[in-house]
Amino acid sequence: MNSLDPADVFRQEASELFEVLEGALLDLTLRPDDRELVDTAFRALHTIKGSGAMFGFDKVAAFTHEFETAFDLVRKGEVKPTKELISVALSAKDFIRSLIEMPESTDSIIGEAILAELQQFVKTDKPAASPEIVSAPAAMEVQPAGWRLHLEFASHILCNGTNPLDLLDDLRKLGPCFAIALTDGVPLLDDLEPEQCFLKWDITLHSDCDKSVIDDVFMFVQDEMTLTLAPLVYSEDAVATSLVPVLPDVMSFDGRPASTAAEQSAALPQPEVKRGEARRTDDRGIATVRVQAERLDELMDRVGELVIAQARLTQLAAAGDDLSIKMIAEEIERLASSLRDTTMGARMVPIGSVFGRFRRLVHDLSLDLGKPVEFVTEGEDTELDKTMIESLADPLVHLIRNAIDHGIEDTATREAAGKIEQGRIELVATHAGAQVLVTVTDNGAGLNTARIRAKAEDLDLIAPGAVMSDHDIHQYLFHPGFSTAEKVSALSGRGVGMDVVKRTIEAMRGTIDLSTTPGQGTKVTLRLPLTLAIIEGLLIRVGEGRYIVPLSAVEECVELTAADERSRGRHFLNVRGDLVPFLKLRDLFGTSDSSDMHQKIIITSTGDTRVGLVVDQIIGNHQTVIKSLSKLHADVTMFSGATILGDGSAALILDVAQLVALAQAQSEKQQAA
C-alpha cells in the first residue's frame, strides 16, 4: 500500500493556502478597509507557519513568522494596506512558495531584502511602549484586574497545523500569565493517539486588555475550541498577594517556576463569555476527499471500457429473442450511463480555480506597463473537466497578455480618445448546451485590420489586392510567427502566443471566435467541450463505413431533396430561408455510390457558421468513448479521434470545425466562379 509523503501533503495544502492568500491580498488593493480580507490573509499566513513547523519546513515557519508579525500591524489597524505594501506582500508570498517548492535553490538574501522592504512600509511613527512597574495601590485602579480562562481544543487541532502552545505564548504577550494543564482527559499510553490533543488549560491572565484582544488571539481556531472567559477582580485585602498568583505545580510562560498564591487553585467562576463549542471528531462529516488525479484518470478509462462492453451487450441482446437478456441489457445500460455521469462529475472542477491565477498576472502587467487595468471575472462556478482546466491555463495567459499589451491603450491615448483612464479585462465562462464558452473581452483599441493585412502581405500569406473579409484577415493572427508588434519585447513580438492558443484549443476539440469593434475593444470566445473522455455522438453511415458526429454540434437532420441534387454543383441548402452550404461525405471520403436513394443531411454548427453533412444513413445516438489517433495520422485533420463500436469495429469521429472550414472554402470558390 502506497503512503503519501507528509511533505507532499503539506505542499498540496500550502498551494491552496497560497491561492487564498493571494486572492485576499489582491482584493485588498480594491477594498483596503475590508477587515474580513485582512483576517483571511492573516489566517492563511498563520496556518502556513504552523503547518510548516509541524512538517519540518523550519525556514518557511521562520520567514512566515516575520511576515506575519509585520502584517499584524495591518490587522490591528495601525498600518493601511497600500498598493505598494500589497506588492511587497505578494513578493513575500512568492518567496514562501519557493522555500516550499525549491528550497535548495532559494537564496535567503532575497527573503531578508523582502522583509526589510516590508518593515519600511509597516513601521509606525508611534514610540514603542515601555513596560511599567506598577505599585499595588495603583493596580487597584486598573479595571479589570485580569481574566480567568478555560481552554479546551478539539482533539484534531494538531492535524490542522495549529500548535496550542503558540496560542498560549501569544496570550502571554498580553501580560503576566499562569497556566495549569489539566490531564484528566489524557488516555492511557496504549490508547494514546500522538496526533490528537487531550490537554485542557486553566489560565490566569493579569492584563487590563479588553475581551476583544483575547478573542483576536484565538480568532483562527474559534470553531475548533471551547473558550470560557471570566473577569478577574481582586478585593482590597487581597491586592498584595493576588497580583502574582502562583502554585507549586504551575509554570509561568516565561519559564520561571511559580511559588505563591494558593488561592489560584479555587474553582473558576461561571463564565460570562462562551465561544463556539469544540467540534468533536465523531460529529464531523467529511466534506471532501483528496484523490490523486491518476486514480480519476484510471477510473475514467475503466468506465470507458465498461461503456464499450455495454454497447456490445446491447447489440447482442437486440439480435436475439430472449426477453430476459434484453431486460438485463437495458438495466446494464442504465447503470453504465449513471456511472459514466457520476465519474465525469467527479472529474469536474470549477473553472474559477484557473481564473484566480490571472488576477496576479493582470496586477503585475498593469504595474509593469503603467496601464491601470480592472480585471473582472464571471461564471467561476462553471464546471469543466479537470484535464480541460489544465490545458486551458496557457491559452488564457496569452490572450490576457495580448489584451493588456496590444489591446489596452496607455493612459494618454485613452484620454485623447475620450475613454476612461482605466482599462478593463473581462473573463467570463458560461454553459451553452454541451459546451462551455470562455470569453476574454477588453475595452481597448480593437484590432487594426489594415496593419494585419499589410503584415500578411509582407509574409506572402495574402496576394496584394485579394478580396477578403475582415473575419478572414483576422484569422492570420493565429498563423505561426505572425505578429504586428513593431519590436520584440519581454511580452510579445515573436508571433508565438496566438499560435499556441489555436493549437491548444483545437487539440481540446474546441473552436475560437474572434470579434472586434475599432476603438471599443476585442472579444475572443473559446468554445470547449465539457470533457475529453466520453461524449454523446450521432452514429452515421457513409458508403460501407460508419462515423461519429459529436451530438453537441448537431442542430437538426433533414432530407436531401431532388431539387438539392439538381443544384448543378452549387451545394447550398435552403433551410427555412437561410442558405446553408453542404458537403457530400461520399465525395469527400472517396466512397463509391450507394444504392440508397434517400440521403440525409445533418445540419451542424460551430460558432455562428452552419454547414450540412450529406450522409447515407443516420443509425442513432451512441455513447462515444474517445480514443486518440496515432502520430501517423496527425495530418488527418477531418477526424478528431476514433471509438470502438459494439461489434468491435472502429468508427472515426468527425472534426466538425475542420469540415466547416472546408465547406466555407468550397463555397467561396463556387461564389468566385
Q: Are residues 356 and 345 in the same domain?
A: no
More confident residue, 656 or 126: 656
Is the pLDDT score of 122 beyond 60?
Answer: yes
Per-residue confidence (pLDDT) for residue 487, from 0 to 100: 56
- The answer to whether the CB of 505 falls within 8 A of the CB of 511 is yes
Strands 609-615 and 578-584: parallel
Residue appearing with cell numbers 513578493: 91
Per-residue confidence (pLDDT) for residue 242, from 0 to 100: 37
**By CB neighbour count within 10 A (0-12 exposed, 13-18 middle, 19+ buried), where does 629 fall?**
middle
Q: Which of 333, 349, 365 is the last residue of a domain?
A: 349
Burial readout 148-172 (b: 16 or more C-beta within 10 A, e: otherwise): bbbbbbbbbbbeebbbbeebbeebb
Per-residue confidence (pLDDT) for residue 186, from 0 to 100: 83
Q: Are residues 356 and 459 in the same domain?
A: yes
Q: Indicate the residue type of 171.
A: L
Q: Are residues 392 and 442 in the same domain?
A: yes
Helix axes 497-507, 386-402, angle to 10 degrees: 160
Cβ-based neighbour number of residue 571 at 10 Å:
20
At 74, list the grid cell: 495591518
The answer to whether residue 133 sits within a structural domain is no
The answer to whether residue 131 sits within a structural domain is no
Q: Are residues 326 and 355 in the same domain?
A: no
The answer to whether residue 402 sits within a structural domain is yes
Q: Which of 111-115, 313-317, 596-600 has the lowest mean pLDDT?
A: 596-600
d(Cα 614, Cα 335) in Å, to the nearest integer? 34
Q: Are residues 507 and 613 in the same domain?
A: no
Strands 554-559 and 572-575: unpaired
- The answer to whether the CB of 406 falls within 8 A of the CB of 485 is yes
Q: Which of 308, 330, 349 is the last residue of a domain?
A: 349
More confident residue, 381 or 8: 381
User: What mean pLDDT is predicted for residues 612-621?
Assistant: 87
Q: Which of 61, 92, 122 is the last residue of a domain?
A: 122
Per-residue confidence (pLDDT) for residue 139, from 0 to 100: 37
Task: Tell me the residue length of the chain.
Answer: 673
The answer to whether residue 621 sits within a structural domain is yes
Cα separations in angstroms, 477 against 382, 483, 500: 29, 7, 11
**What is the torsion angle, in degrees rounded to the nearest 10, for the CA atoms of residue 154, residue 155, residue 159 and residue 162?**
50
The answer to whether residue 288 sits within a structural domain is no
Q: What is the CATH number of the domain that holds 115?
A: 1.20.120.160
The answer to whether residue 392 sits within a structural domain is yes
Per-residue confidence (pLDDT) for residue 440, from 0 to 100: 92
Q: Which of 71-75, 250-254, 386-390 has the lowest mean pLDDT?
A: 250-254
Q: Are residues 362 and 501 in the same domain?
A: yes
The average confidence (pLDDT) of the chain is 76
Q: Are residues 356 and 303 in the same domain?
A: no
User: What mean pLDDT is predicted for residues 452-461?
Assistant: 83
Q: Which of 326-335, 493-502, 516-525 has the lowest mean pLDDT?
A: 493-502
Q: Are residues 299 and 397 in the same domain?
A: no
pLDDT digit string, tens, across residues 193-220: 887 888 888 888 888 788 878 887 887 7
Nearest CA among 61, 214, 221 for reference residue 157 = 221
Q: Are residues 345 and 364 in the same domain?
A: no
Is the pLDDT score of 131 beyond 70?
Answer: no
User: What mean pLDDT is predicted for residues 31-43?
Assistant: 83
More confident residue, 467 or 402: 402
Q: Are residues 499 and 359 in the same domain?
A: yes
Q: Is the dihedral of CA 475, 480, 481, 485 positive or negative?
A: positive
Cβ-based neighbour number of residue 464 at 10 Å:
8
Is the pLDDT score of 627 beyond 50?
Answer: yes
Task: For the full predicted model, state whether its pTM sits above 0.75.
Answer: no
Containing structural domain, residue 114: 6-122
Is the pLDDT score of 532 beyond 60?
Answer: yes
- The answer to whether the CB of 543 falls within 8 A of the CB of 589 is yes
Model confidence band, residue 496 (pLDDT cutoffs 50, 70, 90): low
| Structural domains counted in the chain | 5
Q: Are residues 368 and 332 in the same domain?
A: no
pLDDT digit string, tens, across residues 417-453: 888 888 999 999 988 766 788 999 999 888 888 888 8
Cα separations in angstroms, 327 against 308, 323, 571: 18, 6, 45
pLDDT digit string, tens, across residues 324-370: 898 998 999 889 888 888 887 788 888 887 887 888 888 888 888 88
DSSP string, 449-515: HHHHHHHHHHTTSS-TT----HHHHHGGGGSTT----SS--SSS-SS-HHHHHHHHHHHTT-EEEEE
d(Cα 210, Cα 226) in Å, to the nearest integer? 19
More confident residue, 498 or 668: 498
Q: Are residues 638 and 492 in the same domain?
A: no
